[in-house]
Structure 1
Amino acid sequence: MSSSKNTLLIILAFFSIYVIWGSTYLLNKIAVSELPPFMLASIRFITAGLLIFIIAKLMGKSLAITKRQLINTSIAGFLFLAFGNGIVVWALKYVDSGFAALEISAQPLVVLILMRVFQGKKIEMMSVLGVILGVIGIYLLVSQNEVVSKEGSILGMVMIFVCMVSWAAGSLFVGKADLPTNYFVNTGYQMLAGGLMLLVGSLLFSESWSSPNVWSEKVQWSMVLLVIFGSIVAFTSFNFLLKRVSPEKVATSTYVNPIIALGLGWYFLNEVITAQSIIAAVVLLTGVYFINTKKKLVIFSRFHK
């Protein structure tokens, strides 16, 4: 692959995980207002996984996979989708979509800390400053009376944080794991594995399933957009980037996602954006600047290789 083509693909992939994933908070919030969370996520990922396999076969791609790759894609499917996404969808029943995205923007900090704890990677001074700003930003976010006073909001915030750890662990795992070389096929196996796990979870929690023809039109459209763009396009881009750039660079998407999510939640769902939330967003975005400076990208690229 030529350098210019590779650069263009990386730019498009970052656009996908920045903007498209930012909109999935709104889409999930709309869908979970009518559908059980694990059922919603299960249908989304199983459908996306099957569509990916169909497209891959039409493109002449082999779906062959080794036993080790099947295990690894299942682990990734659990960390990213079954737990990492399924629980976030559940939490959206109790917290605003923009707030959830803002809290998840602390993920790059979690990635850095996990790299330090499990891989012994040194956290440079600029990144330390970014971590400090991130902690301050998260405190400003979750300490608002408007947020903590809502029923179920504290449990929702705690579970979202646990999901962040799951996503961060998944990012580090995928960066080193033996996975299918084709990013599209890799995504398909992760989607199908995560979707099947969510299906089991939905049955265990005795969720009530319903046919798409009885869903409201807005929920139907939300699911279509989640499957095509939020799952197939964005998640394939995510897997592509995890093999091309370092994990903490990929995790910076969680700083852009909340800006998109906040704006869409405010415009379409009339979610309130408080002055304190705006300040928290500014502090968090400043934190990612210090984490993701050009100097840091060079340093962390050594780890990724």
Structure 2
Amino acid sequence: MTKDQNPLLIILAFFSIYVIWGSTYLLNKIAVTELPPFMLAGIRFVIAGVLIFIIAKIMGKNIKISWRQIKNTTIAGFLFLTIGNGVVVWALKFVDSGFAALEISAQPLVVLLLMRIFLGKKIQMMSIVGVIFGLIGIYLLVSQKQVLNQENSVVGMAMIFACMLSWGYGSLFVGKADLPRNYFVNTGYQMVSGGIMLVISSFLFGEEWSSPTTWSSPVQYSVILLIVFGSIVAFTAFNYLLQVVSPEKVATSTYVNPIIALALGWHFLDEDVTSQSIIAAVILLTGVFFINTKRKFTVFPRFFRS
């Protein structure tokens, strides 16, 4: 085990991308009811990135990086944040937060297929079983009449799928790119670059900006929580995990996020949780069980072996 592969850090990092990111669907849904999506996401990531740089300087970290690393963090910021997150926030105007999280739970399947296409990685039998379960779960999810009958729901689903492709390719890119070794610095550059591109997109789309003082209290609290926990804590954990575990393992967070998102959306926003959605969630979780339990790629036991 290397120094970076600290078992406690890995557990805390997985908790962050599983639970904290699961709650961001609710927070984004609350905020996007009042705020334009690209403005919301841009403000969130620019502020979070600046705060990360401040924290890094307080910790005595050197935030100077090479031009090659600047280019790579900008590409990662575009794939993860500008497209992979910003467009999801946009899609939340058309679909429920729990539904969005359930659709994104197919992310590990996308990563596996992209690894096959771009890296030539053989898909193991247990992963194939997981893919089959995942496809069944996604079909049950998107085929619901109450979902298809919602206005612009198909547009929302297509937008989310595009985000999944962007996020999946970003995961592969980060795994091999020359990036700042310090996770705070790496995250900070991705946040600032991705956030700036979202701000530019906001102006290009003609979104109307407003002062935070005019926002309602739920929206203000949601944005603060998105910045501190959803961005600084969870995204730093995400970048850490991408460097110490395989990309398809990091992508398994998208199987747990929907359960958190469904429960929070149902409790706080009165979103419908149909029996078919529950069945789809169970099948999707079964898929990640098969992907995550084959001996070659088992996550937690591997890191407890010294």
Structure 1: distance between partners of 2:296 and 2:93? 37
Structure 1: distance between partners of 2:34 and 2:5? 42
TM-score computed with the length of structure 1 as normaliser: 0.96
Shift of residue 295 of structure 1?
1.2
1:60-96: CA deviation from partner (whole Å, max 9, x where unpaired): 1111110110000000000000010000000000100
Structure 2: distance between partners of 1:72 and 1:5? 23
Distance 1:2-1:68 versus aligned 2 partners, 3 A rule = closer
Percent of matched pairs sharing the same residue: 73
**Equivalent position of 1:166 in the other structure:** 166
Distance 1:130-1:84 versus aligned 2 partners, 3 A rule = same
Q: Which runs of 4+ in 1 moved over 4 A?
A: 1-5
TM-score computed with the length of structure 2 as normaliser: 0.96
**Equivalent position of 2:250 in the other structure:** 250
**Equivalent position of 2:66 in the other structure:** 66
Amino acid at match of 1:118: F
Contact kept in structure 1, 2:265 and 2:271, CA below 8 Å: yes
Contact kept in structure 1, 2:126 and 2:294, CA below 8 Å: no
**Equivalent position of 1:221 in the other structure:** 221
Shift of residue 5 of structure 1?
7.8
Structure 1: distance between partners of 2:59 and 2:99? 40
Amino acid at match of 1:196: I
**Equivalent position of 1:233 in the other structure:** 233
**Equivalent position of 1:278 in the other structure:** 278
Structure 1: distance between partners of 2:183 and 2:139? 37
**Equivalent position of 1:36 in the other structure:** 36
1:138-193: CA deviation from partner (whole Å, max 9, x where unpaired): 00000000101000100000110110011000001101110001000100000000
1:192-213: CA deviation from partner (whole Å, max 9, x where unpaired): 0000000110000000000100
SS at match of 1:70: helix
Contact kept in structure 1, 2:111 and 2:248, CA below 8 Å: yes
Amino acid at match of 2:163: C
**Equivalent position of 2:88 in the other structure:** 88
Amino acid at match of 1:233: V
Amino acid at match of 1:158: A
Structure 2: distance between partners of 1:4 and 1:86? 30
Unaligned runs of 5+ in 2: none
Distance 1:261-1:298 versus aligned 2 partners, 3 A rule = closer
Matched, 1:54 2:42: no
**Equivalent position of 1:77 in the other structure:** 77
SS at match of 2:6: helix
What RMSD, in angstroms, separates the aligned Cα atoms of the two structures? 1.5
Shift of residue 292 of structure 1?
1.0
**Residue correspondence of structure 1 range 253-268 to structure 2 within 5 A:** 253-268=253-268
Structure 2: distance between partners of 1:4 and 1:51? 24
Contact kept in structure 1, 2:4 and 2:244, CA below 8 Å: no
Amino acid at match of 1:291: I
Structure 1: distance between partners of 2:2 and 2:32? 43
Matched, 1:120 2:120: yes
Amino acid at match of 1:169: Y
Structure 2: distance between partners of 1:298 and 1:160? 28
